[in-house]
Amino acid sequence: MPSSLRNMPPVAAAATECRLSGEGDTKRDIIPGKDHKCFVRLHGDLILSYRLRAVGGPKRPTLLHQEPTRRFDKLFELFDADAFFQSYLACRDAIHQMLEQTPLVGDFDLAPDNWDDFLPHDLAMLMVRAVRHDTDEHGGVTLRYNVDMDLTILVNIVYSEPKALLLACEQRATVTRCLFAATPTDCPICMEDSDTTVRVRLPCSHSFHCDCILPWFYKVAKCPKCRHDLGKYLVAATDTPMGKFPGLPQQP
């Protein structure tokens, strides 16, 4: 997480995620013989943006601020070059680890689930496919290379106000995981009975399934039953006005 957001209130931090995407080109220079070391150079641009998914706002998060493009550059020695060039899995995992160890890039959570398209997968596919083609062209002889990867990595820090609102309401009430039968206290939104479910009791005392109330919060910060205004609990929990990104100094 960027340093400017490391002191975010817990409710806001829990409702903020890092989304990643990227693209890149790879170049390889053949190394004569196996006695020479192999290196991979990762370099390129990192573009960091901040986006807000506001209560009652557009479905797509709104861009609030984009920082100037920053450069990264790091050289890695390959200690198992044969595996890197011949195994897709070894190549993918090695590239992922290199990204995690690259200054600036490694400041963010690079877990595979945070990528729209997992960049190490794309780069490994390009690399292994090219190496296999070279091997066929050279009569089955396994080659070794120095590799240059020129990358562009986009980092989007997305704050979900509806999720933060749900967490703020949880702070003010009690969340229970329980077995319950169809009674007048069933969720007023779905009116369905569930074997086991997580419910949230709003500060106005009305209780809902979390999975039911969250989509409602994407539309409005009010209880769907009594219309009690819940926005004040979010403001108190995040110390931030509605419609703003907590901790972000530059925003409209």
Question: 147-183, pLDDT tens digit by residue?
Answer: 999 999 999 999 999 999 999 988 876 543 443 444 4
User: Distance of CA 179 to CAs 31, 154, 199, 213, Å?
Assistant: 65, 44, 11, 19
Give phi and psi for 12, each to the nearest 5: -70, -40
Residues 131-136 have a mean pLDDT of: 86
Question: In the predicted model, is pLDDT for residue 45 greater than 50?
Answer: yes
Q: With respect to residue 247, please indicate whether it lies within any of the assigned structural domains.
A: no
Same domain, 200 and 107: no
Where is the domain boundary, 126, 141, 159?
A: 159
**47: domain range?**
3-159
Where is the domain boundary, 104, 138, 159?
A: 159
Same domain, 14 and 103: yes
Token couple for 18:
């890092």
- Virtual torsion, Cα 216, 221, 222, 228, nearest 10 deg: 160
Q: What pTM did the predictor assign? A: 0.84
Element (H, E) at 133: helix 119-137
- For the chain, what is the largest distance between any 2 Cα atoms, rounded to a whole number of angstroms? 78
Same domain, 138 and 172: no
User: Rounded to an integer, what distance in angstroms lies between the CA atom of residue 140 and that of residue 133?
Assistant: 10
Token couple for 82:
């044969």
Q: With respect to residue 243, please indicate whether it lies within any of the assigned structural domains.
A: no
User: Distance of CA 83 to CAs 87, 131, 213, Å?
Assistant: 5, 12, 49
Residues 22-49 have a mean pLDDT of: 91
